[in-house]
Structure 1
Amino acid sequence: MPVDVDAVVPDVAQPPRADVVVIGGGIIGVATALFLAEQGLKPVLCEKGVIAGEQSSRNWGWCRTMGRDPRELPLMLESLRLWRGMNERVAAETGFRQRGTLYICPDEKAFAKREAWLPFAREHGVNSRLLRGAAVKQTLEGAAQDWYGALHTPGDGVAEPGMAVPAMARAAQRLGASILTQCAVRGLDLAAGRVAGVVTERGRIGCDRVVVAGGVWSSLFCRSLGLRLPQLKVLASVLRTERVDDGPSTAAWGPGLALRKRLDGGYTVSNGQVVAEVVPDSVRFLGDFLPVLRAEWSGISFDLGRAFFDEHRLTRPWRLDAVSPFERIRTLDPSPVQADIRRARANLERAFPAFRGIGTAATWGGMIDATPDLLPVISEVAAVPGLIVSTGYSGHGFGIGPGAGRLTADLAAGRPPVVDPAPFRFSRFTDGSRPRPLSGL
C-alpha cells in the first residue's frame, strides 16, 4: 500500500460465537470493538483485508470540531475528549496532538460563511475564533500569502491514521476482542428475521448482534439484505512531503490546499477536491444526492468510465457458499488524480515557500463513503432486529471515530447512548425527513 500502516497480528482461530460481530476494520469498526471489549463483552471483528487498509489510513488525520454540522457536534466533542486520552487508553502512540485547526477565508463571502457557524461553537463551548488579515499569517508559521481572514480553533487536534487505528485494535485484543483479517463476511444468518449469526469465508459465527462498519462497502452489504442505504463513494487524492522544519504547526484548509503536520516532520497535503465516479449506484441514488451536489458542486468533479461496468459486475448477487465481492477486492487502492496532486503541490509552495525543493515522499488515493446529508448512519435497523449500521462518515470519520465507536458500541450492547443517536438514524431516508446537508457549513 502507498501509506504506512502499523501491523496488527490477527487472531488465528475464528470463534464459533461472539457477543457482537463487527464487520469492518477501519476506525469505526475498531473503536466499536474496543469499547465493547471495555464493557466486558467478547466482540469478534472481521476485516476482509488488513486493519485500516482503506480510508481509515488514507485520510488527512484531522480531529476537528471546527465547522462541523451542528447535529454532529455533541458526538465530535465526545470524540475529541476521547482523543485527548487515547494514548493512555491504548498504551501506545496514536500521534494525537492538540495543534489546532484553521479554515482560510480568501474573501468576505467565505469569512461570512465561517462567521455564521460561530453561534453553534458558542452553544457547545468550542473555542473557535475569527482572525483577520495579518493574524492569519501570524498563526500559520512560514506563510507568504495574504488572506482576508480565517476561522481558528486552537482546541482541535490531529493524529496519525496509520498508527492510531492499529493501536486501538491491539488494545481491543488485549481486552478480549478477536481481530480477524483476510476474513470477509459474506452475509448474515437470520432466524425468523432476526440476526442469528454471520457467514464468513471461513464459516459461521453465532451472534445476536452485528455491526456493519464497512465504509464504502456498507451499502452493498445492506442491499444483500434487502435494505436501501443511499451511500456513494468519492475519490480523494493526497500527498505526503519529506520533512520540513519551517512549516506551520496548525492544520489548515483553504481553497485548493489542505495541510497537516505529521509526527515524522513531513506534511499530509491535498487540494481538497474529490472525484465522483459514475457507477450504477449514482443512478440509483441520484434523487437522494441532488441536494448535496447542489451545495458542494464546486468541490466535486465527475468521471464516467470503466468503473461503471466494473462495479456492475462486482455487485451482482452472490451466495453465502460462494466467493463474495468482499473477497474479490480485499483492499480498495485507487490511484490518485495526478492533476489534483500537482495543483496541491503548486498551491503549497506558493503559500509556504519552505516547501520549495522539498521532495514528495508518497501519493495515494482513498475512497470516502458519503451520505446525502453528509451525516453518518449510526443506528439500529428495525427491519432486521440485531443489526446495527455505522457508516457514511462523509470524510469526517477519522476525527469522529472514537466517539462514533463508543455510540455504536452503546447501541450494540443495549446501553444508554453517549449522545442522542436520533440525527443518525437509518430510518431518516424513508420516514419522510428528506435528509439535507446544512448549507454553509
Structure 2
Amino acid sequence: MTQTLERIKTSTELPESTSVVIIGGGIVGISAALTLAERNIPVVLLEKGHIACEQSSRNLGWIRKTSRDAQDVPLAQAADKLWQSMPERIGQSVGYKQSGIMFLANTTEQMEVYENWIKSVDDLNLDSTLLSNEEIAKRVPNSSKKWAGAIYTASDGRAEPHIATPGLAKAALQRGAKILQNTAVRCLMTSGGKVNGVITEAGEIKCEQVILAGGMGSRRFLGNMGINLPTLGLVCSVMRTTPIDGPTDIAVGASNFSFRKHQGGGYVITQRGALKAPLVLDHLLIGYKYLEQLKHQRSFLRVSLGKEFLRDLALARRWQATSASPFERLRINNPPTVDGLNQEALAALREAWPIFNQANIDEAWAGLIDVTPDSNPIIDNIDTLPGLTLATGFSGHGFGTGPAAGQLAADIATGATPLVNNGPYKFSRL
C-alpha cells in the first residue's frame, strides 16, 4: 500500500433516500460528490472498501496535458484550474505544484511523434514546446545520455495521491455529502425502465440518479445487468525513494522509466515502458476490441497467466440482490508489486542520471488500472437505462483529470451545463 493513506471517518447509517447515489470512492466519485454537495444537491457516496483505497492513491500523481489525445485535452485544461484552486476550495494543501512535465526521446522517430502531437493540439493554446538535448540539460542537468530531444509543458504539474482524495472527501462531508465506507452496492433498483435506487449489502436507498465511478469494478457491476463495458486490467508497479538531492523538480518520462519529485523529498519512479498484463477470462471475451491498440503497444505488455486468472474465475459474474456480491468478497484490489519492473526502471534511471545511484527505495506498491480500447474514459449516460451515468475506464491517467471528470459526471447526471463537451467520452463509441 502507498505511503500513509489517511483514513477518514464517515457515516455508518444508510439513508432511506437521496437525490444522487455515487458508487465508488476514488477521486472521480469523490469529486462528483463534492460538486453536488457544493450545489446543495443531496448525495450519498458508497465505497465497498475505504476512500481512495485503489488506484486513486496508487498512481504517479502526474497532472498532465502532454501527449493526451487531443479530444481529452479540454478536460485536462479544466482540471488544471480546479487543481490550482483546490487549497482554497477544500481548505488544505494536496501537494499540487505546477512544476512541468517533460517526455524524453531517444530517437528522431519519437521526436516526430511529439511534433505531430503538438500539431494536433495547435488550436488549444497549450504551452508545450520541443526541446533540444542542450535545452534538456539546462532544465534537467547531469544526464549521462545524449537525447534526441523532448517535449515539455511547463504548466503541467503533480499532486500527492495519498492526501488528495481524502482531502476532497473531508470537504464533501463538510458541505453535507454523506459517505459510507465498507458498503458495497449489489445492484440497481428500477421502476418503469428507469433507475430509482440501489440495493446495498446494508439495505436500499431510493434516489433519482446514480453515478457509477467504480474503476475496475465497473465492468463486473454492469455485466450483472447485461451491459457490456469493455475494460481490461493492467498492473502498474511504483516505488518511492528516500529523500535525495535529485536533478530537477520537473516530472520526467523516458521510454523505460519516469520520475517525479515527492513532497517528502524523494522521487516516485516507475517503468514507463512496461505494465503487467495478468490474463483473465475477459481477455478471451473482449480482447478482440484491443487488437488495434495491441499493434502499437505489444512491447509494453508483460503478459502473465497465473493466480489472477483463478481468482477472477472465482468471483461471480451474475448474482442476485439477496446474495453477497463479488465486491463484498474482494473489497480492495491490491495486486502484488512487480519487483522486476521496478528494478528495470531504477537501473535505466541510474544509467541516465547517475545521481540516482545514491537513491534508496523507501517503499513500493502496485495498482490495477482499468483500460478501455482507446484509452479514453467513459463519462456518459446509459441510454438504455435512464438515471445511470458512467464515469469510469480512465486507463491510468484519471488522477490528473479527476476533479474535472467528477464535475462533468455530476453535470451530466443532473442536467447541468457540462463543464466540457463529453463527446469524446460517449459510451456508444466503444
* SS at 2:4 equivalent: coil
SS in structure 1 of the partner of residue 391 of structure 2: strand
Report the Cα distance in structure 2 between the residues aligned to 1:50 and 1:143, rounded to whole angstroms: 41
Give the gaps of 5 or more residues in structure 1: 430-441
Gaps of 5+ in 2: none
Q: Normalized against structure 2, the TM-score is what? A: 0.98
**Would the aligned equivalents of 2:215 and 2:370 in 1 still touch at CA under 8 Å?**
yes
- Kindly report which structure 2 residues correspond to 1:183-332, keeping only aligned pairs within 5 A, or say none: 183-272=183-272, 273-332=274-333
Determine if contact 2:63/2:401 at 8 Å carries over to the other structure: yes
Aligned amino acid, residue 368 of structure 1: I
Alignment of 1:10-409 (within 5 A): 10-272=10-272, 273-409=274-410
Deviation at 1:142, TM superposition (A): 4.3
- Mean Cα deviation higher: 100-109 or 290-299: 290-299
Q: Distance in 2 between matches of 1:180 and 1:331?
A: 15
User: In the aligned structure 1, how far is the partner of 2:290 from the partner of 2:80?
Assistant: 29
Deviation at 1:368, TM superposition (A): 0.5
Q: What's the offset of the Cα at 1:160?
A: 0.3
The 2-side partners of 1:316 and 1:64 are apart by 35
Tell me by how many angstroms 1:2 deviates.
4.0
Kindly indicate whether the alpha-carbon contact (under 8 Å) linking 2:2 and 2:57 is maintained by their aligned counterparts in 1. no
Runs of 4 or more, structure 1, over 4 Å off, are none
Letter in 1 for 2:234: V
Is contact 2:2–2:162 with CA below 8 Å preserved after alignment? no
The structure-2 alpha-carbon separation of the partners of 1:142 and 1:91, relative to structure 1 and needing over 3 Å to count, comes to farther
1:23–1:45: 8 Å Cα contact kept in structure 2?
A: yes
C-alpha root-mean-square deviation of aligned residues, in Å?
Answer: 1.1
Paired residue secondary structure (2:309): helix
Note if contact 1:96-1:158 (Cα within 8 Å) is conserved in structure 2.
yes
Q: In structure 2, what residue type is equivalent to 1:131?
A: L
Give the C-alpha shift of residue 122 in structure 1.
2.8
Deviation, 1:261, is: 0.5
Post-superposition offset of 1:344: 1.1
Tell me how far 1:418 sits from its aligned partner.
1.2
C-alpha displacement at 1:12, in angstroms?
2.5
Identity of aligned residues (%): 38
Task: State the shift of 1:4 in Å.
Answer: 2.2
Deviation of the 1:310 alpha carbon? 1.8
- Give CA deviations for 1:73-117 in whole Å, capped at 9, x if unaligned: 111110111111111111111110000000000110111110111
Give the aligned length: 429
Counterpart amino acid of 2:92? A
Cα offsets for 1:360-408 (capped at 9, x unmatched): 0111110001000111000000111100011011111000101101100
Per-residue CA deviations over 1:229-259 (Å, capped at 9, x if unaligned) read 1111100111010001233210010111111
User: Are the aligned partners of 1:236 and 1:368 in contact in 2 as well (CA < 8 Å)?
Assistant: yes
